[in-house]
Amino acid sequence: MPIPVRANPLRSATAPPEGLCREWYESHGAGIYSYLRFQLPSAAVAEDLTADVFLRAVRAADRFDPNRASARTWLFRIARNVLRDYLRHERRHPHVSLGALDDLRSQAPSPEERLLWKEEVARLLAAVATLPASDQEIIGLRYGSELDTGDVAQILGLREPAVRTRLWRALGRLRRVLAP
């Protein structure tokens, strides 16, 4: 006798098809992970927050309106909020990360070159971490997630010229921090 299949009580009648959620993840998952990873000291935390972004997106999919913004913009706004929530929690409950920067991959053929690459990336991430949060965010969106300035403007709710100006100023501050 076949076992009756019950509907999933967590899935609402208006939830998007699984295929759409999978498509969002396949299209934007790497960019969202990069954005989060750029601003976090641990790959594991970035992976967890990326999963949280898509979990929130699935739960709120019935509120997604493609007439207001693209799925990419909507997902990056969710990622921005997830990151803010995490950073706010970390300020209240700080901890020491044991495996910071252990995930950075390099195509370097030798261990020495890999070590040099890790040191350079660590230096860059440390320099970015000294910048104000708004500078970290705009640099992370533009270069960590490889978004163009138009997409960054949509995510931040700014005009594109304002994003370019803020980015230029943030990069100037980063150059000063990195200067010997």
- Supply the DSSP string of 53-74, one letter for each residue: HHHHHHHTGGG--TTTS-HHHH
H or E element in which residue 123 lies: helix 111-129
What is the sign of the dihedral through the CA atoms of 155, 157, 159 and 162? negative
Residue 162 is predicted with a pLDDT of 95
Section 106-113 average pLDDT: 60
Section 77-98 average pLDDT: 84
**Any idea where the domains of the chain sit in the sequence?**
16-100, 110-180
CATH number of the domain located at residue range(s) 110-180 in this protein: 1.10.10.10
Residue 2 is predicted with a pLDDT of 45
Name which of 59, 85, 63, 75 is nearest 23 in CA terms: 75
Q: How far apart are CA 90 and CA 47, in angstroms?
A: 16
The topology (CATH level 3) of 16-100 is Rna Polymerase Sigma Factor; Chain: A (1.10.1740)
Select the highest-mean-pLDDT range: 2-6, 110-114, 132-136. Answer: 132-136
Residue 77 is predicted with a pLDDT of 93
Asked if residue 118 lies in contact with residue 101, where contact means CB atoms within 8 angstroms, the answer is yes
Residue 96 is predicted with a pLDDT of 56
Q: Which residue has the higher pLDDT, 144 or 161?
A: 161
Measure the N-to-C terminal CA separation of the chain; round to a whole number of Å.
Answer: 75
